[in-house]
Chains A and B, each alone.
Chain A
Amino acid sequence: MSQIPLQLENIRKTFQDGDKEVDIIKSLSFEAKKGELVAVVGPSGSGKSTFLSIAGALLSPDGGRVIVNGADIAQFSEKERADVRLRAIGFIFQSANLVPFLKVKDQLKMVKELATKWGREAKEEAQQLLQSVGLEHRMNHYPHQLSGGERQRVAIARAFMNDPDIILADEPTASLDGKRSKEIVELLANEAKDKNKAAIIVTHDEAVLPFCDRIYMMDNGRLILKEEMI
Chain B
Amino acid sequence: MLTHSIKEICFFKLRYILIGFILFFVAALVFIINGLANGLAAENISSLKNMNAEAFYIAKDANNRIEQSRFSISDVEKISKDDRVEPLGLQMLSLKKSGSNQKVDVTIMAVHPKGFLMPEVTEGKSIATSKEPQLVVNNSIKDDGVKIGDELYEENSETTFTVVGFTEKETYSHTPVAFISLKSWEDMLGSQVKPYYNALVLKNDNQVVKSDVKGSLGSGVWVSTDDVIKGMPSHQAEQTSLNMMLIFLIIIAVFVLGAFFYIMTIQKMNQFGVLKAIGAKNGYLIGTTMLQVFFISVVSISVAVGFTKLMQMLLPSSMPFIFNGVLILTYAGILMVVSMLGALLSTVNIIKVDPLQAIGRVE
Task: Encode contact with B along A75-114: 1 for CB under 8 Å, 0 otherwise.
Answer: 0000100111111011101100101111000100011011
Chain A residue contacts of B358, Cβ below 8 A: 58, 91, 93, 97
A79 touches B361 (CB 8 A): no
Residues 314 to 363 of chain B near chain A (Cβ within 8 Å)? 355-356, 358-363
Residue-wise, chain A 18-46 has the 8 Å CB interface mask toward B (1 for contact) of 00000010000000000000000000111
* Contacting pair B361 A111 (CB below 8 A): no
A–B Cβ pairs within 8 angstroms, 23 of them:
A45-B363, A48-B363, A50-B362, A50-B363, A58-B358, A79-B281, A82-B276, A82-B281, A82-B355, A84-B279, A85-B277, A85-B278, A85-B279, A85-B355, A86-B280, A93-B358, A101-B8, A101-B12, A102-B7, A110-B4, A114-B279, A162-B279, A174-B360
Q: Mark B269-293, 1 if CB is under 8 A from A, else 0.
A: 0110011111111001000000000
Q: How large is the interface on B (under 10, 10 to 19, 20 to 34, 35 or more residues)?
A: 20 to 34
Beta-carbon contact of B278 and A49 below 8 Å: no
A191 an interface residue at 8 Å Cβ cutoff?
no
Number of chain A residues whose Cβ lies closer than 8 Å to a Cβ of chain B: 43
8 Å CB contacts to B: which residues of A148-197? 158, 162, 170-171, 174
Task: Find out whether the CB atom of B279 lies under 8 angstroms from the CB atom of A97.
Answer: no
Within 8 A of A (CB), among B1-36: 4, 7-8, 10-12
Given A45-B363, A53-B362: A83 and B278 interface contact (C-beta under 8 Å): no
Of B10, B276, B278, B355, the residue contacting A111 (CB under 8 A) is B278
Q: Residue A225 at the B interface, CB < 8 A?
A: no
> Which of chain B's residues have a CB closer than 8 A to the CB of A52?
359
**Interchain CA distance A83-B4 in the complex, whole Å:** 19
> With the chains together, A158 CA to B358 CA distance in Å?
15
Residue A56 at the B interface, CB < 8 A?
yes
The answer to whether B356 and A58 have CB atoms under 8 Å apart is yes
Q: Are B363 and A49 in contact (CB under 8 A)?
A: yes
Given A101-B7, A102-B7: A115 and B359 interface contact (C-beta under 8 Å) = no
Tell me which residues across on chain B come within 8 A of A106, comparing CB atoms. 7
Partner of A114, one of B11, B280, B363: B280
Q: Given A82-B276, A85-B279, check contact A56 B11 (CB 8 Å).
A: no
> In the complex, are the beta carbons of A91 and B360 less than 8 A apart?
no
Min CB distance B272 to A, Å, is 10
Contacts of A82 in B (CB 8 A): 276, 279-281, 355
A49 to B363, CA, bound (A): 7
- Least CB distance, A72 to chain B, in whole angstroms: 19
| Contact of A59 with B by CB under 8 A | yes
